[in-house]
A and B are shown apart, each in its own frame.
Chain A
Amino acid sequence: MFLTVFLILFPMFMFLLLVGMRHRNPKWLALAGAVVEFGVSVYMWIKFIPEGDRQFAVKIPWVNSIGMSFNVGIDGISLPLVLLTTTLIPLIILSSSDKNFNRPALFYGLVLLMQSALIGVFTSFDILLFYIFWELALIPIYLICLIWGSEKEGKVTIKFFIYTLAGSLVMLVGIIFVYMSSQPGITQPGFSLNTFYELGRHLDPQAQGWVFWALFLAFAIKMPVFPFHTWQPETYTQAPTQGTMLLSGIMLKMGIYGVIRWLIPVVPAGVAQWGNVALILSVIGIVYASCIALVQKNMKTLVAYSSIAHVGLISAGVFTGSIIGIQGAMIQMFSHGLVVFGLFYVIDIIQHKAGSAEFKDLGGIRNVAPKFTTAFLIIMLGSVALPLTSGFIGEFLLINSLVQYQVWIGAIAGLTIILGAVYMLVAFQKAMSGEAQPHLAAFQDLSLGEKAVLYPLVVLIILIGVFPAPLMSMSEPAVTALVNSLFDLTSYIRP
C-alpha cells in the first residue's frame, strides 16, 4: 500500500506546485491539498487494524552502502500523530483566512512542506530516515519564523535553530555510535527499526546510558523539557501565529514521539538508569513553567509557558515506561495539539481585533463577543483538563501513571491541574469578563472564517472528552505490545 508514501510526498508535491506556479489564490490551493491529505488519512484510519502490526508499509532500498532504506509505515503509535498533523494543517491554513501574507504562495508552500516532513517523522521505520525528516522539518519552520515573524525574529530564530540543531547533531552521533556497535555474528548493522532495536539492546548498560543522553538531548530540546526550554517562549512569541501553531501543535510532539518510538525501545537499560532523572526534570518543568505562567502579562507568553508545563507532564508520563503512562501521553499529545492550536488562534483573534494581547489592554470582551467567548471558554476548559473535555482523559492517565510510579511525584505533577486552572482562569477572567474597555466596544464577534476553524475544533474537543474510545483503541494495542516487549526482554523498566 503506497498510501503512506502518498501522505509524505503529496504535500511536497503541493509545495513545488505552489512555489513553482503562479497560482492566483495559493491559500485555497493549499487548503484543498491539505483537505485531500486529511481525507486520505481518515481513509487510512478506517482501514487501520489496531491489533495489527505495521500497516501501509513500504520498504524501498535507498542508500545500500550504509544499509539505509525508505522504510515507512503506520502503526498504532504513528497513527494518532499522523491524524493530528492532517487535522491541524487544514485548520492552520484556514486560521489565516483573514490574513494577507506577503508572498502567500511561499508561505503556504512551506506549511505543506512542513507537513510532509512531520508525517515523514511520524511514519519512518528507519532511524536515519527519521533523522532526515526530523531535520527537514526544521527548515520550513525556520523560514516561516524568519520571513513572516516580527522584527526581532532574526536573533530569536537563530537561537532556536542552533539550539535544536545542537540536539539533533548529538542525536546523530548517538545513532552512528549504535550503528557502529554491531558485532559480527551477533548483530547486523542497519538503521531499520527492528535491526536498530537489536543493536541498541546489545550495548552494555554504560554505553546505553551515553546513547540515552545523546538521544534524550535532541528530544528534550524539541519538546522542550526543563532546562532546555529557554528558546521556546521567545520563539513562540516572535513567530507568526501560524508558525507558533505548527511549533506547539505538532512539532513539539516530534520529541515525545521520538522518546516513545526510539529512545525507550532502543536503550531500555539506559532508560532504566537515567529515566528517573529525565522524569524529575520533566516534573520540575511542570512546576517551574506553571509558576512563571502565573505572572505573565501577555497571553501569548502565558500559553507558551503553559505549553512547557503540559509537555512536562506528558514526558514525565512517558518516562514511567508503563502502559498507562505512554497511552496517556498518546491521547494527551492529540488533545494538547488541538487545545494549544485553539488557544493560539484565540489569542491571534484578540491581538488582531483588540490590537494587543497584553492583559492591561483587555477586559470585558464577553459583553461584545459572546460566541467568541464561548469558544474560548471551551478551549480553555480543555486546557485545564475539565472532565468531558479532551484534556481530561490524557491528564488523568498521566497523573495516574505517575502516582503509581511514586506517590509524591504524582502529587507534585498533579499541581499542574491546579496551577493550570489558576492561570488559565485568571487569564480568561482578565481578558473576557469585567467592564468592557471603551476601545474594545468595536470588537466584532466571530467571522465566518473564524467560525469555520473554531466550531469544528470545539466539537472535537468535546467529542474526544465524551467519547475517547476510538482514539484510545487506536494506540492501545501498539503501546501494550511495545511495553510488553520491553518486559520480555529485560526487567530494567519499572512497572
Chain B
Amino acid sequence: MNTLFVIAGVGVLALVAEIVNLKRWLTIFVMLGLAGALAFLPLYTDHSPSAPVFNRMMLFDGPAVVFTWLIVIISVFWLWMSAGYLRQGGHQTDKTSLVVFVILGAVIMAAFNNMAMLFLGLEILSLSLYTLAGSKKDSLSSIEAAFKYFLMGSFATGFLLFGIALIYGAAHSFDLGTIFGYITQNPETLPGYFYAGVLLMMVGLAFKISAVPFHFWAPDVYEGSPTAITSLMATVVKIAAIAAFWRIFGLAFSFASAGYVKVIYGLVILTLFIPNITAIYQTKAKRMLAYSSVAHVGYILLGFLSAVQQGYVNPLFVIFYLAAYSISSLAAFSVLMKVEENGGSFAGLYYRNPMLAVTMVIALMSMAGIPPMAGFAAKYFVFIIALSAQHPFLVLFAVAMSLVSVYYYFRIIITMFDKNAAVEPITVPWSARIFHMVMLALMLALGLFPSIAPLARIMTF
C-alpha cells in the first residue's frame, strides 16, 4: 500500500530533478527508490489473511505481492540496462518519471481490488507508454508506433470499459470480492449480458497481453519504439497485463470459468501458432523478438488454462514463466541495443565482442527452452501442469511450436558466428558488462535451481 506512495513519490521527484540539477544520479536514485518501495510490501510470514486497503480499492494478497516483486525487480534491471537511453537525446527527467509512472500503473494492475482501479492503473501505464513509444521524436517510425499504439490501446480500453459496465449491470459493483460473491451465489442464473461483459473484458485484456488475434499492433509498435522502450513493453508491461488478466479471470470470475475456458483454449492455439510461424519470415531481429514476445504469451496462457479450477487459478507457474521470460528478454534486448549502437547487424558479432554474443546465445537458448537455462524450467512446469490438466494435444502442439521457435532463434545465433562479416570490435562499458554477467547468472540460476517452493509459500494467503 505504502509501496504505491513511494513509487509515485519517486516519479514526482524524478520530474523535479530537472530543477535541482540532479540528473547525474537520477537513474540510480530511481533504482534505489524502487528497491526501497519493496520494503513496504507485506510479507505474510504470519499467514494472516490480507485485507483490502484504500476503501477496498487495492488488495495486496500473496500473488499481488509476488507480482509486485517481479515487476519492481525487473524494472530495476531495466533501469540499469537503459540508463544510456534515458540520458541520451534530452528530456532525461521526463522520460525517467514517465517510466516510473509505467511501473506505478503496473503495480496497480497487479494489486487492484476494484474495476475502477484496473482502469486507472491501465491508463496510468498506457498513457505513459504512448508518450515513451514516441520519445524518439526525429524518427518517423517511433511516432508511427506511438500513434498506432495509442489508437489500438484506446480501442482496447473501450472494449474493457464496456465489459466492466455490463458486469456492473449484473453484479451491481466494481468490487472484485463482491463480483466473486455474486457469481458464487448465482452460478446458474447469471444473465447473458454478464457473459457478454466477460467476453468484452477478455477482448480488452487480450489486446493488452497481445494474444492472437489481438496482437496486430505489437510487431509494429515494438519495432518502431526505441529499443529500450520495446524491452519495457516486452517485460514490465507484459507482466502487469498478465497480472491483471489473472486477477480478473483467475480470481474474480473464476467460478464462471466454464464460460470462457474455451475462448482461452482458442487463444492459446492461435497465440502459439501464428507468431511462431510469422517470426520465421522476419528479417529484422527486433521484429523477430516482437513476434517471439507474442508467442511466449501462448505458453503463459497455456499455463493459465491448465491451472483453471473452480474458484481459484494458481498463478505460480505463470509467474515463474514470466520471470524466466523477462530476464531472458532483458538480456536479449540489451545485446540488441548494443548492436544497434554499432551498425545494427548481428553478423559476426561473436568476433566483434564475444561476451555480447555469448549473452545473446544463452538468452535465445533460454527463450527457446533448452536446458539448463531458465526458459526450459519455465516451459517444463507449464507442460507438466498442462499434462496433468489433461491437455496432451496442447502440449504436443506447444512442443512443436517451440521447435519452430528454435529455428528462428538459431538463425540469429548462426549469423553471429558468421566468419565473413565485418570484424571491427565493439566496446561495451563496464556497467553493461556486469549487467550481462548478472543476467547470465540469473538465467542459469533460475534454470538450475527452479525450486518454486519458496514462491508457493508466499502465495498462501
Contact = CB atoms under 8 A, between A and B. Distances in A.
A147 B399 contact: no
A179 interface: yes
B414 A132 contact: no
Interface string B389-425: 0001001100100110011001101100111000000
B347 to A, nearest CB: 11
A169 interface: yes
Nearest to A146: B417
B291 interface: no
B193 interface: no
B108 interface: no
Nearest to A157: B414
Interface stretch (A25-33, A159-167, A224-232, A302-310): A159-167
A176 B411 CA distance: 29
B452 A65 contact: yes
A162 B407 CA distance: 7
* Main SS class of interface, B: helix
Contacts of A151: 419
A158 B395 CA distance: 23
B383 interface: yes
A186 interface: no
B380 A172 contact: yes
Nearest to A149: B417
A333 to B, nearest CB: 25
B451 A169 contact: no
| Chain A contact patch, size range | 20 to 34
* Main SS class of interface, A: helix
A470 B353 CA distance: 50
Nearest to A135: B371
Given A65-B453, A173-B395, A180 B388 contact: yes
B456 interface: yes
A154 B371 contact: no
B130 interface: no
B399 A169 contact: yes
Given A139-B365, A161-B410, A65 B383 contact: no
A313 to B, nearest CB: 30
A63 B450 contact: yes
Contacts of B6: none
Contacts of A100: none
B387 interface: yes
B414 A166 contact: no
A132 B350 CA distance: 26
A106 B395 CA distance: 37
A162 B452 contact: no
B28 interface: no
A180 B383 contact: no
B372 A132 contact: yes
B128 to A, nearest CB: 37
A172 B361 CA distance: 22
B370 A135 contact: yes
A177 interface: yes
A169 B402 contact: yes
Given A135-B370, A177-B387, A169 B365 contact: no
**A66, A136, A162: most-surrounded residue (chain B CB, <10 A):** A66
A147 B388 contact: no
Interface in A7-65: 62-65
B18 to A, nearest CB: 43
23 contacts: A62-B449, A64-B453, A65-B452, A65-B453, A131-B371, A132-B371, A132-B372, A132-B376, A135-B371, A135-B372, A147-B350, A147-B417, A154-B414, A158-B411, A162-B410, A169-B403, A172-B383, A173-B395, A176-B380, A176-B384, A176-B395, A179-B384, A180-B384
Interface of B: 350, 354, 361, 365, 370-372, 376, 380, 383-384, 387-388, 392, 395-396, 399, 402-403, 406-407, 410-411, 413-414, 417-419, 449-453, 456
3 closest A-B pairs (Cβ-Cβ)?
Answer: A154-B414, A132-B371, A135-B371
Interface of A: 62-66, 106, 131-132, 135-136, 138-139, 143, 146-147, 151, 154, 157-158, 161-162, 165-166, 169-170, 172-173, 176-177, 179-180
